[in-house]
Amino acid sequence: MITGELRNKVDKIWETFWTGGITNPLTVIEQFTYLLYIKGLDDTEKHHEMDAELLGIEHNGLFPADKPQLRWSNFSNMGPDEMFQVVSQEVFPFIKTMGGEESAYARYLKDAIFVIPTPSLLAKVVAGINALPQATNAEDKNDTLGDLYEYLLSKLSTSGTNGQFRTPRHIINMIVQLMKPTPEDIIADPAAGSAGFLVAASEYLRKNHGDMFLVQGLREHFNRNMFHGFDLDSTMLRIGAMNMMLHGVDSPNIIYRDSLSEQNKDREMYTLVLANPPFKGSLDYESVSDDLLRITKTKKTEILFLSLFLRLLKKGGRAASIVPDGVLFGSSNAHKAIRKEIIENQKLEAVIKMPSGVFKPYAGVSTAILIFTKTDAGGTDNVWFYDMKADGFSLDDKRSPIEDNDIPDVIARFNDLDAEKERKRTEQSFLVPVDEIRKNDFDLSVNKYKEVTYEEVEYEEPNVIFDKIFGIENEIKLGLEEIRELIKVKQDE
């Protein structure tokens, strides 16, 4: 999370947009993102130019040598009118075709529209972005950008259509740390939104597998083949694509696609799926890919997405998905069928029950995380359950930081499941044999298996309690009498 100086400066830029006439939060985020992206391109270009000069090699830059005005470092020093003319008439058309019409840059920005209405507003926003604290190295820069994006997206105070809403960054990071992406993984998020899961996975790899960038094949894989995101919201796709590129992924595969429809032909292509798919959607059978309905015939998107993950994953591939509580214990045929499929034919590893306030202020829905591996041959033996009580923030609409936080404990315990065998059902986490889950009709709700211990409370005899009450009443009566006497003496004076 961003705090202090950076937060105050971002709030000031947001207020500048608002007072300048742009009041739609998503529009503000999009325009803010375009400008951050344009500045990021110039910063990256400067870094490459310095490397080329140091190594004594020729550098073929992104920006035409005869048009220096396209670069942030140049136009940001112009007067408001000239800057507005250059950005609206030259910079935006340039970024929409940068690198050629088929380049990754152009693919994501071809529909970008500049909507800042006045030169004075643009000048104020550019000055505000220039005033943002600068990170001293690439890793800190990535962290700062990620936190800035998270803060901007948190300003979307209402959920989107079909039950879509922003996944908190710390929950995303927890899931990524649980799944531990590897340099060889091919990662997909079929409901990518702003690409939060993909960005977090890229950050995890940079921090934990930095040596992969010294290997040409792995570096190329990271930049072009590792990350895949699909969504139906073109605005969020642009934000997600720019988010990925500003986090150092040169050509992420961020694509406009209805993941559940027949147009999605992907099958056994990915080794890791990370997702928080829409919960509340209900689709017509005709609009859903036929093979997704073979496992369980349903209109509920949360069930259909689980079927999709099984189709997308290669054998041995893993998935971590946020699901509404109803998926864990729903009694419909569709709910039972998807649970049975994952438990009997795949390998269910973990069910992490999250507090119901995790998604506030967007929604109060109760959710859990399912972690499983595609085997097509079963393999579920013991399922790990964790009853998460706190995530480091209050569970009301304010979501203020608090000390209680189970996330480090969740990660530590999941990484040492052998030790979990000794835990009792009265503890926060425990293992449940698959046979017991079968006997309970594949119910995966944590309360089905958790044992609650009740401490015996001894109460005093009623006569003793009444004596104490009468004693307290007498004390109150005596106190009131003393106050009345004091008032009387004061009046007589």
Each domain of the chain, given as residue ranges in start order, spans 4-142, 158-448, 459-493
- Which residue type occupies 351? V
Is there a shared CATH topology between the 4-142 domain and the 158-448 domain?
no
Superfamily of domain 158-448: Vaccinia Virus protein VP39 (3.40.50.150)
The pLDDT, as a whole number, for residue 161 is 38
Give 10-residue mean pLDDT values along the chain (493 residues). Answer: 76 93 87 88 83 78 88 95 96 82 69 91 95 64 62 59 63 96 97 90 93 90 94 80 79 85 86 89 61 76 92 97 94 93 97 91 85 96 96 89 95 95 93 97 95 79 88 91 85 75
Question: How far apart, in whole angstroms, are the C-alpha atoms of residue 141 and residue 29?
Answer: 19
Nearest to 93 by CA among 71, 68, 63, 113: 113
Question: How far apart, in whole angstroms, are the C-alpha atoms of residue 367 and residue 354?
Answer: 6
- Which residue type occupies 87? V
The pLDDT, as a whole number, for residue 160 is 43
The pLDDT, as a whole number, for residue 47 is 80
The pLDDT, as a whole number, for residue 158 is 42
The pLDDT, as a whole number, for residue 287 is 58
CA 340 to chain centre: 28
CATH architecture of 4-142: Up-down Bundle (1.20)
Say whether pTM exceeds 0.85. no
